[in-house]
């Protein structure tokens, strides 16, 4: 009988192995893809692409035991060679090649030049060839940063006593009204794709006190802008036993602090590749919605057209205002008007035209919406009635409140938008692995 007893240790090494041990002068084996070949005459530089970065290998013609003419960019190879110090090479090392073994070869030339440092390619072309364009070191680095954000979100919330949940994406009715929802047929029943885990995470606050989810959400919005996607990854949490909605903003601030520290520690390489300066998160100003409108109206001499809504241009100006006045990268805008918030939002007892809710702006763009929710069954039923909504499809949600629920609140954060702002891109598709928008359903 044969057994599996744990992960297979390999004799091939990774970049980390080269750096952490006394490998200079040693002969090692390594695997990777040929990122680029630079033929210098007697020698050639064969740059290997590995998950941790690039490795400079030196092909010495006549010495390296392989026919140079046979070597192709984009081939996957195993090499054997000697490790040398070389301060001009990535990681300060190069490998002088003894042997090369081909693991697999491309069937055609690359459709894009991925081995340039900055790809001189349109966004459309990059997205049309997504699995190729991401082989570029800078393109790839954005998604390592994205990984770090999600890791930071989860690790921070685990530490704060949150439980991770997985809620269904196919449902019977939308949480926040009928528009902008993808519909499908589910075994001859009408169904929808959830535009948010909102109702589910609230229901789970009664079970776990604090919950979070990282998963896809679906919005059939017909926006064709640089910041809208029709499917995106939402980082959601919901927490019970709060004193006020400030507890939610405080928790988000804690998450941002934790995550920026994590990125600095574990993703320094990618931050450096993308020349990212991490934003300031030690203290984040908060300002009321109506006050923010006044401030930018005065400072930038801009008329307030609609006192109950924030235009994208106003968001940008609020970002600019707080950067100029407070050197702040983030700002919490609070107390949004009640009629612009969903039925479950808690109205401000001091003035029920407003809610105890907030958006978080990052350099003038909304990346989070959150706030306190209604926890009292009767208040919830009254608000649903006052809005002329039906309770149909909300039965089990409402039953949850009937059976008692703690004061609670939470937020949803758009992962791709946060990544975009963090790495300094201006189109959310740049930081979405495979974007879905009005025109794009492939790859």
Residues in 130-169 that interact with a copy of itself by CB under 8 A: 130-132, 134-135, 140, 143-144, 146-147, 150-151, 154, 158, 160-161, 163-169
For residue 417, the SS3 value is helix
Part in contact with a copy of itself (CB under 8 A); list of ranges 40-48, 92-100, 306-314, 404-412: 404-412
Question: Interface with a copy of itself includes 99 (CB under 8 A)?
Answer: no
Part in contact with a copy of itself (CB under 8 A); list of ranges 36-44, 54-62, 180-188, 346-354: 180-188
Question: Interface with a copy of itself includes 400 (CB under 8 A)?
Answer: yes
- Residue whose CB is less far from a copy of itself, 3 or 117: 3
Site for a copy of itself in 282-321 (CB under 8 A): 282-287
Of 66, 200, 289, 344, the one binding a copy of itself by CB under 8 A: 200
Cα-based torsion angle of the residue sequence 415, 270, 277, 260 in order, rounded to the nearest 10 degrees: 50
Count residues contacting a copy of itself (CB under 8 A)?
127
Of 113, 241, 305, 306, the one binding a copy of itself by CB under 8 A: 241
Question: Interface with a copy of itself includes 105 (CB under 8 A)?
Answer: yes
Part in contact with a copy of itself (CB under 8 A); list of ranges 38-46, 89-97, 127-135, 361-369: 127-135
Give whole-number Cα distances, 258 to 151, 264, 273, in Å: 10, 10, 21
Q: How far is the CB of 394 from a copy of itself (least distance, A)?
A: 10
Strand pairing class (189-193; 170-171): antiparallel
Of 4, 179, 350, 386, the one binding a copy of itself by CB under 8 A: 4
Of 332, 344, 354, 362, the one binding a copy of itself by CB under 8 A: 332
Question: Interface with a copy of itself includes 120 (CB under 8 A)?
Answer: no
Question: Interface with a copy of itself includes 27 (CB under 8 A)?
Answer: no
Would you say 186 and 137 are in contact if contact means Cβ atoms under 8 Å apart? no
For residue 326, the SS3 value is helix
Question: Interface with a copy of itself includes 251 (CB under 8 A)?
Answer: yes
Locate tokens 């680029």: which residue?
36
Site for a copy of itself in 409-438 (CB under 8 A): 415, 433-436, 438
Would you say 203 and 240 are in contact if contact means Cβ atoms under 8 Å apart? no
- Residue whose CB is less far from a copy of itself, 308 or 377: 377
- Residue whose CB is less far from a copy of itself, 315 or 437: 437
Helix (H), strand (E) at residue 331: strand 330-334
Q: How far is the CB of 86 from a copy of itself (least distance, A)?
A: 23
Of 405, 411, 420, 423, the one binding a copy of itself by CB under 8 A: 405
Q: Measured in whole angstroms, how far is the alpha carbon of residue 247 from the centre of its chain? A: 23
Task: Kindly report the backbone phi and psi dihedral angles of residue 12, in degrees, each rounded to the nearest multiple of 5, phi listed first.
Answer: -75, 150
Question: Interface with a copy of itself includes 91 (CB under 8 A)?
Answer: no
Would you say 202 and 183 are in contact if contact means Cβ atoms under 8 Å apart? no
Q: How far is the CB of 112 from a copy of itself (least distance, A)?
A: 9
Angle at 364 between CA 361 and CA 365, to 5 degrees: 60
Angle at 356 between CA 428 and CA 419, to 5 degrees: 15
Strand pairing class (330-334; 183-186): unpaired
Of 81, 240, 364, 371, the one binding a copy of itself by CB under 8 A: 240
- Quote the tokens at residue 256: 């941002």
DSSP annotation of 107 reads: S
Q: How far is the CB of 298 from a copy of itself (least distance, A)?
A: 16
Question: Interface with a copy of itself includes 268 (CB under 8 A)?
Answer: no
- Residue whose CB is less far from a copy of itself, 14 or 86: 14
How deeply is 118 buried, as exposed, middle or buried, from its count of CB atoms within 10 A (0-12, 13-18, 19+)? exposed
Give whole-number Cα distances, 219 to 68, 216, 261, 373, 417, in Å: 52, 10, 32, 22, 15
- Quote the tokens at residue 187: 């075994």
Question: Interface with a copy of itself includes 404 (CB under 8 A)?
Answer: yes
For residue 355, the SS3 value is strand
Q: How far is the CB of 99 from a copy of itself (least distance, A)?
A: 16
Strand pairing class (12-13; 27-39): parallel
Of 7, 22, 67, 327, the one binding a copy of itself by CB under 8 A: 7
């Amino acid at each position: 009988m044969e057994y599996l007893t744990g992960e297979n240790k390999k004799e091939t090494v990774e970049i980390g192995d080269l750096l952490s041990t006394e490998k200079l002068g040693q002969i090692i084996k390594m695997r990777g893809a040929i990122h680029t070949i630079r033929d210098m005459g007697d020698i050639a530089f064969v740059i290997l692409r590995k998950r941790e970065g690039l490795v400079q290998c030196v092909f010495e013609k006549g010495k390296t035991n392989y026919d140079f003419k046979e070597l192709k960019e984009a081939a996957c190879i195993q090499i054997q060679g000697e490790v040398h110090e070389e301060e001009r090479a990535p990681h300060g090392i190069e490998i002088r090649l003894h042997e090369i073994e081909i693991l697999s070869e491309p069937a055609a030339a690359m459709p894009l030049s991925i081995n340039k440092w900055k790809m001189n390619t349109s966004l459309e072309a990059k997205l049309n060839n997504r699995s190729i364009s991401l082989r570029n070191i800078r393109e790839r680095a954005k998604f390592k940063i994205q990984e770090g954000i999600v890791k930071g979100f989860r690790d921070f919330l685990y530490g704060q006593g949150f439980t991770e949940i997985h809620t269904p994406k196919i449902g019977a009715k939308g949480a926040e009204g009928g528009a902008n929802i993808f519909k499908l047929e589910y075994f001859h029943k009408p169904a929808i794709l959830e535009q948010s885990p909102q109702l589910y995470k609230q229901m789970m606050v009664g079970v776990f006190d604090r919950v979070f989810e990282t998963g896809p959400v679906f919005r059939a919005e017909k926006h064709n802008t640089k910041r809208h996607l029709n499917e995106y990854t939402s980082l959601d949490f919901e927490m019970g036993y709060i004193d006020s909605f400030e507890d939610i903003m405080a928790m988000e601030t804690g998450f941002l602090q934790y995550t920026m520290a994590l990125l600095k520690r574990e993703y320094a390489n990618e931050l450096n590749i993308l020349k990212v300066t991490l934003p300031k998160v030690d203290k984040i100003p908060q300002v009321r919605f109506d006050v923010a409108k006044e401030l930018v109206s005065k400072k930038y001499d801009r008329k307030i057209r609609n006192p109950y809504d924030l235009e994208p241009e106003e968001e940008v100006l609020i970002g600019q205002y707080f950067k100029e006045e407070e050197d702040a990268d983030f700002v919490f805008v609070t107390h949004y008007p009640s009629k612009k918030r969903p039925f479950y939002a808690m109205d401000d007892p001091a003035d029920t035209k407003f809610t105890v809710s907030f958006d978080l702006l990052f350099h003038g763009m909304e990346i989070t919406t959150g706030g306190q929710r209604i926890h009292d069954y009767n208040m919830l039923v009254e608000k649903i009635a006052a809005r002329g909504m039906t309770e149909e499809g909300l039965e089990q949600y409402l039953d949850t409140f009937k059976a008692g629920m703690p004061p609670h609140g939470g937020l949803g954060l758009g992962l791709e938008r946060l990544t975009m702002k963090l790495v300094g891109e201006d189109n959310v598709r740049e930081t979405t692995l495979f974007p879905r928008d009005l025109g794009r359903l492939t790859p």
